[in-house]
Amino acid sequence: MAKTALVTGATDGVGRVVARTLGKDGWRVLVHGRDRERGETLVKDRLDLLINNAGIGTAGNGRQTSADGHELRFAVNYLAGFLLTYELLPLVKAAAPSRIVNVSSAGQQAIDFSDVMLTKGYSGVAAYCQSKLAQILFTVDLAEELKGSGVIVNALHPSTYMNTTMVRRAGVSPMSKVETGAEAILQLAVSPKVEGKSGLYFNVMNEARANPQAYDVAARRKLKALSLELTGAKA
């Protein structure tokens, strides 16, 4: 039977290339757009690979909030993947050996726990970088939790300024191709080189150190408690 992958944000950019490549390689790929039906099909299946890729970049007209009232980049780039992962974890565990990939970024900023929702001195760059580091804290934490389960979880910076919608919207001249980022994501998703490795951060193809807050146990604990409270996820 074909293996099954869910790629969030598969309707554009690097997620689209990753979904297409997995499809060509014989995977059954559940592409996530903003479509409820696909999600509902998913819960009946086993799941070998979850790629939390959907995200919003730095550009925008000031601070925005999600329908739940959370700062929008924190909600879409981090909290959504956090909740989705816990909702799907029983399926991912049932399919072990299986993998989770969190598509983060080299743009990282320590979370200020006194103002996580960035109500003061908002900037799109700060919001983006905070949400991207939150994904890495989550990755390190989840890897601990999943020890011995056969599920590995890793995070990465896929590539710098790929030619995608979010980069063009930020008014930045693209510096790399989506194929470069897709290759890096696919390494964490399927390569035997990553077997048994978990809780790591990769800068494109190589293991790297993330912002120091990722290795601060107390910060990770705080973020997890806050995320459970904000999403209602059952960890």
Ligand X SMILES: NC(=O)c1ccc[n+]([C@@H]2O[C@H](COP(=O)([O-])OP(=O)(O)OC[C@H]3O[C@@H](n4cnc5c(N)ncnc54)[C@H](OP(=O)(O)O)[C@@H]3O)[C@@H](O)[C@H]2O)c1
Say whether 128 is catalytic.
Answer: yes
Among 15, 78, 152, 223, binds ligand X (CB under 6 A): 15
- By CB under 6 A, the residues from 50 to 79 that bind ligand X are 53-56, 76
Nearer to ligand X, 22 or 54 (CB): 54
Task: Compute the least distance from the CB of residue 20 to ligand X, in Å.
Answer: 13
**Interface with ligand X includes 14 (CB under 6 A)?**
yes
- By CB under 6 A, the residues from 104 to 163 that bind ligand X are 105, 157-162
Task: Compute the least distance from the CB of residue 224 to ligand X, in Å.
Answer: 20
Nearer to ligand X, 158 or 199 (CB): 158
| Cα distance between residue 233 and residue 83, in whole Å | 6
| Cα distance between residue 71 and residue 146, in whole Å | 29
Nearer to ligand X, 95 or 182 (CB): 182
Q: Tokens 């974890």 identify what position?
A: 89
- By CB under 6 A, the residues from 165 to 194 that bind ligand X are 165-167
Nearer to ligand X, 106 or 235 (CB): 106
| Cα distance between residue 198 and residue 201, in whole Å | 9
Task: Compute the least distance from the CB of residue 148 to ligand X, in Å.
Answer: 29
Task: Compute the least distance from the CB of residue 226 to ligand X, in Å.
Answer: 20
Tell me the angle at which helices 13-24 and 178-190 cross, rounded to the nearest 10 degrees. 50
Question: Among the candidate windows 4-12, 39-47, 84-92, 220-228, which touches ligand X by CB under 6 A?
Answer: 4-12
**Closest residue to ligand X in the complex (CB):** 13
Task: Compute the least distance from the CB of residue 164 to ligand X, in Å.
Answer: 3
Catalytic residue among 128, 161, 201, 215: 128
**Site residues, ligand X (CB under 6 A):** 9, 11-15, 33-34, 53-56, 76, 103, 105, 157-162, 164-167
Q: Catalytic positions, please? A: 128
